[in-house]
Structure formats: structure tokens, C-alpha cells
């Protein structure tokens, strides 16, 4: 899995620490996977709300990916899930 090291914003989630990131999903009856939690090291952060999601087709490469903008522990995060199964996470300055 792939993850990005985001900028530090709060002490609640120390975003500069280099730890293993894991993404946990819920698979619904429609077949789509929805992120439900991010695990950083040994701490699990619940995704409180999915603000929006978007499926994208890169016209140059033909690759598909899905973007989720979520609220997690009071912070806004963006999760990008690639067709290959890899994913990236970035933290927004929005609150």
C-alpha cells in the first residue's frame, strides 16, 4: 500500500510521524468499497463522514481511480484509491 506523509496540523494526529498506514474498508451490497478507518501505527482513526466521492478516468492513461473527501477526527482528509489497489492519503488545511 502507498501512503503520503502529510503536513503537521494538530497534536491529535501527528501527521509527520513515519508510521505504517492502513486503510480499512466497508464493502456494501452494491459492491463498492467505502473507507471506514485509517490505522496509523497502532492507533485507529474512524472516518466520521464521507463528504463526497468521485470516480475518475484519466483520459491520458486510461486508468481509473476513486477519490473520497472525508472527515476524520475533526480533520478533512482526501483518500485516493487506484485501480491497482494502491492508495494515497492527504490531509487538508480545511476544518
Per-residue pLDDT tens digits for 36-59: 999 988 899 999 999 999 999 999
Q: Mean pLDDT score of the chain, rounded to an integer?
A: 78
Report yes or no on 35 lying in a domain. yes
Bridge partner list, 40: 21, 43
Report yes or no on 27 lying in a domain. yes
Report yes or no on 57 lying in a domain. yes
Domain with 56, as residue range(s), is 21-91
Does the global pTM surpass 0.85? no
CA dist 7 and 16 (Å) reads: 6
Among residues of the chain, what percentage have pLDDT more than 70? 72
Report yes or no on 47 lying in a domain. yes
Confidence label for 72 from pLDDT (cuts 50, 70 and 90): very high
pLDDT average, residue stretch 86-95? 78
Report yes or no on 5 lying in a domain. no
Q: How many domains does the chain have?
A: 1
Report yes or no on 58 lying in a domain. yes
Report yes or no on 11 lying in a domain. no
Amino acid at each position: 500500500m502507498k501512503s503520503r506523509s502529510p503536513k503537521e496540523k494538530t497534536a491529535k494526529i501527528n501527521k509527520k510521524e513515519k508510521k505504517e498506514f492502513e486503510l480499512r474498508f466497508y464493502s456494501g451490497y452494491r459492491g463498492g468499497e467505502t473507507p471506514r478507518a485509517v490505522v496509523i501505527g497502532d492507533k485507529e482513526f474512524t472516518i466520521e463522514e464521507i463528504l463526497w466521492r468521485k470516480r475518475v478516468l484519466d483520459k491520458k492513461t486510461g486508468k481509473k481511480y476513486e477519490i473520497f473527501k472525508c472527515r476524520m477526527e475533526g480533520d478533512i482528509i482526501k483518500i485516493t484509491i487506484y485501480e491497482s489497489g494502491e492508495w494515497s492519503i492527504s490531509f487538508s488545511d480545511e476544518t
